[in-house]
């Protein structure tokens, strides 16, 4: 199976996780979306050298994954895709910022090291929280949540279409790539000289396919609206739950729990 | 009842595909639409649902005359099963794909669930409900594509090459399925054996016009007529020398 096909399957594997029935899955999508946004803002708001304060936030993905019964592997695989970018960004700090920040067991910890670890933890937390959100909430539900939060319909519609057409486009690339490779068995990929016509054909084919899909949609009454499942009702208890989580996150943001525990242990 | 009168369709590039085509189909009838490539089968199907608009002529479904303004209402009465099920299955799950049309017409989620449960049970594909459409086999995709239309309960269903991409066993399953579909059916196909088995009547198109029409057996056993229309006898009637 080609890499393109594998990528399509990876997208749908994550989507299939949303059909589980756990407390987290049953939460209204608006609450989950807001919770994720609040978590992300809190994590990002930490300074570039504030590392210890971030550690308690690692509990968030662990806790949610446990309750939502999300397997580790599919999420970690996707996390690994994001990590190399972070590593490059973080490593450059280690070389350019060598000013000592603290001593840890006789080892000098530079500011660059702290920034590197901080970027790394922030990436892990951000990517994991978004992955958990999409593993527990279907795309339709997420789109509804966006509308509920008054994000303009045109933007929500664009997100919906992009998501739908992603697999269609990948399918077209896969078919064309196979047709190319079968007639160019000595090539490892598409030659640069053939790339222009290949991409041109891809655009034309994608337009044709999109046209047919649009016709099929029109034939079933599509008039440009956003199609989604009827929303789950947001109860007062849900809002209360969101407030509690937000308060806990804010406390963790301003009270360094790791430092407190360290002081208690060391004395 | 589906009634087409003096229908002409011209593409933007000036190519006129349908030329004064007239036909009518009674309620509950199963009609095969056959013809060589370019005869106008797909153009006719696309015009029926208002994807293409006629140059002249009229289309009437159950007394509703097709008009730019009532296309939405018209599409509630006539459903299309496209040739390639991948064009018809675009939502994230089979359930959402089947629910798509019903949601567009404002049905409540409770009713949608009830209808989907019923139709999937009828078609024997309940287990596929939560699967991603692109993970289905060719035969499953075809059945789900049909389910997306059946669930909307239109009075007429048009099928564009329903047996294409199917292996013999799945094709047989499809024939059984179509036989049990109670709505009026217009089946555009090159599969003349299927048309012979399934259709009450067959309409032969040639150069955008009705070349011949009549009882399926009479038309599909008439070798001269079929050859004049750029076709040949169904495989089951051809003498094969081994």
Mean pLDDT of chain B: 91
Neighbours of B169 (CB within 10 A): 9
> What is the average pLDDT across A37-43?
96
Shared domain for A211 and A242, answered yes or no, is: no
Supply the pLDDT for residue A81: 84
**Beta strands at B2-10 and B16-25: parallel, antiparallel or unpaired:** antiparallel
**pLDDT tens profile B185-213:** 999 999 999 999 999 999 999 999 999 99
DSSP state of A187: -
Domain ranges of chain B: 2-232
| A33 and A80 housed in the same domain | yes
A24 within domain boundaries: yes
| Residues B21 and B35: beta-carbon distance below 8 Å | no
Same domain, A30 and A106: yes
Is CATH 3.40.50.300 what the domain over B2-232 is classified as, yes or no? Answer: yes
The arithmetic mean of pLDDT across residues B141-145, rounded, is 92
B73-88 pLDDT per residue, tens: 999 999 999 998 988 8
pLDDT at B137 over 90: no
CB atoms within 10 A of CB B68: 7
Return all residues near A164 (Cβ < 8 A) that are at least 6 apart. Answer: A213, B90, B91, B92
Cβ of A216 within 8 Å of Cβ of B132? The answer is no
Four-residue CA torsion sign, A128, A129, A130, A131: positive
Whether A93 and A190 map to the same domain: the answer is no
- Ranking A156-160, B33-37, B105-109, B110-114 by mean pLDDT, the lowest is A156-160
Tell me the per-residue pLDDT of B213-228, one tens digit each, with 9 for 90 and over: 999 999 999 999 999 9
Tell me the percentage of chain A whose pLDDT exceeds 70. Answer: 92
Give pLDDT tens digits for B167-176. 898 899 899 9
Q: What percent of chain B has pLDDT over 70?
A: 98
Whether residue A49 is found in the same domain as residue A106: yes
Give the strands of the sheet with B209-215, arranged side by side: B78-81, B156-160, B184-188, B30-34, B201-206, B209-215
- The partner residues of B209 in beta bridges, in order of sequence, read B206
Over 50: is that where the pLDDT of B160 sits? yes
Q: Residue A43: is its pLDDT beyond 80?
A: yes
**Among candidate residues B143, B159, B148, B142, the one with its CA nearest the CA of residue B32:** B159
- A264: in domain: no
* Cα four-point dihedral sign B53, B57, B63, B68: positive
Q: Which of A140, A171, A218 sits opposite B92 (nearest CB)?
A: A140
A247 in the same domain as A120: yes
Say if A182 falls within a structural domain.
Answer: yes
* Whole-number percent of chain A with pLDDT over 90: 30
Q: Give residue A38's domain range.
A: 20-137+234-259
- Using a CB–CB cut-off of 8 Å, the residues of B that contact A are 46, 49, 51, 72, 75-76, 79-80, 82, 84, 86-88, 90-93, 96, 99-101, 103-105, 108-109, 130-132, 134-135, 148-149, 152
CB pairs under 8 A between A and B: 85
**Counting runs of H as helices and runs of E as strands, what totals does chain A give?**
11, 2
- Are A145 and A254 in the same domain? no
List the beta bridge partners of residue B78.
B156
Residue A163 — pLDDT band, cuts 50, 70, 90?
Answer: confident
Average pLDDT of every residue of chain A: 85
- Four-residue CA torsion sign, A178, A183, A185, A190: negative
Interface probe with A: pick from B78, B87, B128, most Cβ of A within 10 Å: B87
For residue range A146-156, list pLDDT tens digits in order.
Answer: 888 888 877 88
Binary contact (A219, B135; C-beta < 8 A): no
Phi, psi of B18, rounded to the nearest 5 degrees: -105, 135
Q: Are residue A178 and residue A246 in the same domain, yes or no?
A: no
- ipTM confidence score: 0.84
pLDDT greater than 90 at residue B93: no
**Is the Cβ pair A221, B93 closer than 8 Å?**
no
Q: CB-based contact (8 Å) between A161 and chain B?
A: no
Choose the closest CB to A216 out of B88, B108, B135. B88
| Domain annotation covers residue A73 | yes
Q: A130 with A255, same domain?
A: yes
Contacts (Cβ under 8 Å, ≥6 apart) of A211 = none
> Lowest-pLDDT range, A159-163, B58-62, B106-110, B122-126?
A159-163
In this prediction, residue B241 has a pLDDT band, given cuts at 50, 70 and 90, of low
b/e code A176-195 from CB counts within 10 Å (16+ = b) = bbeebeeeeeeeeebeeeee
Q: Which of B59, B213, B93, B75 is nearest to B149 (CA)?
A: B75
Residue A112 lies in a domain: yes
| B109/A8 CB distance under 8 A | no
Q: How far is B88 from chain A (nearest CA, A)?
A: 6
Residue A265 lies in a domain: no
Query: What pLDDT does residue A57 have?
Result: 93
Domain total in chain A = 2
């Amino acid at each position: 199976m080609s890499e393109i096909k594998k990528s399509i399957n990876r997208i749908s594997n994550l989507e299939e996780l949303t059909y589980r029935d756990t407390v987290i899955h049953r939460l209204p999508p608006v609450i989950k979306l807001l919770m994720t946004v609040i978590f992300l803002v809190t994590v990002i708001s930490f300074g570039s050298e504030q590392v210890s304060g971030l550690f308690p936030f690692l509990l968030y993905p662990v806790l949610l994954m446990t309750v939502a019964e999300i397997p580790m592997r599919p999420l970690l695989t996707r996390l690994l895709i994001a990590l190399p970018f972070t590593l490059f960004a973080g490593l450059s700090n280690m070389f350019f910022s060598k000013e000592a920040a603290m001593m840890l067991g006789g080892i000098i910890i530079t500011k660059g090291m702290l920034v590197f670890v901080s970027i790394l933890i922030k990436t892990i937390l951000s990517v994991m929280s978004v992955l958990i959100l999409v593993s527990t909430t279907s795309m339709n539900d997420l789109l509804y949540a966006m509308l509920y939060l008054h994000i303009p319909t045109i933007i929500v519609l664009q997100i919906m279409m992009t998501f739908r057409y992603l697999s269609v486009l990948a399918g077209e690339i896969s078919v064309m790539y196979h047709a190319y490779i079968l007639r160019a068995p000595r090539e490892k990929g598409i030659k640069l000289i053939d790339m222009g016509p290949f991409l041109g054909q891809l655009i034309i084919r994608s337009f044709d396919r999109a046209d047919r899909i649009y016709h099929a949609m029109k034939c079933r009454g599509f008039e440009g609206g956003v199609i989604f499942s009827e929303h789950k009702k947001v109860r007062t208890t849900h809002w209360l739950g969101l407030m509690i989580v937000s308060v806990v996150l804010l406390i963790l943001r301003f009270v360094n729990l790791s430092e407190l525990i360290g002081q208690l242990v060391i004395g | 009842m589906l009634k087409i009168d003096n229908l002409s369709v011209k593409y933007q590039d000036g190519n006129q595909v349908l030329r004064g085509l007239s036909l009518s189909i009674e309620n509950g009838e199963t009609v095969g639409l056959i013809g060589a490539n370019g005869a106008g089968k797909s153009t006719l199907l696309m015009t029926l649902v208002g994807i293409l608009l006629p140059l002249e002529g009229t289309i009437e479904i159950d007394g509703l005359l097709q008009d730019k303004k009532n296309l939405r209402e018209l599409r509630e009465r006539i459903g299309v099963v496209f040739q390639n099920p991948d064009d018809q299955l675009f939502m994230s799950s089979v359930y959402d794909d089947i629910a798509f049309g019903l949601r567009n017409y404002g049905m409540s989620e409770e009713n949608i669930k009830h209808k989907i449960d019923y139709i999937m049970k009828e078609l024997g594909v309940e287990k596929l409900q939560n699967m991603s459409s692109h993970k289905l086999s060719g035969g499953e995709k075809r059945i789900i594509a049909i389910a997306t239309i059946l669930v909307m309960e239109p009075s007429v269903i048009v099928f564009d090459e329903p047996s294409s991409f199917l292996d013999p066993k799945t094709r047989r399953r499809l024939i059984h399925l179509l036989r049990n579909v109670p709505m009026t059916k217009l089946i555009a196909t090159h599969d003349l054996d299927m048309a012979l088995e399934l259709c009450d009547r067959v309409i032969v198109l040639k150069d955008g016009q009705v070349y011949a029409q009549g009882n399926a057996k009479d038309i599909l056993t008439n070798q001269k007529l079929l050859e004049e229309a750029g076709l040949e006898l169904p495989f089951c009637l051809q003498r094969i020398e081994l």
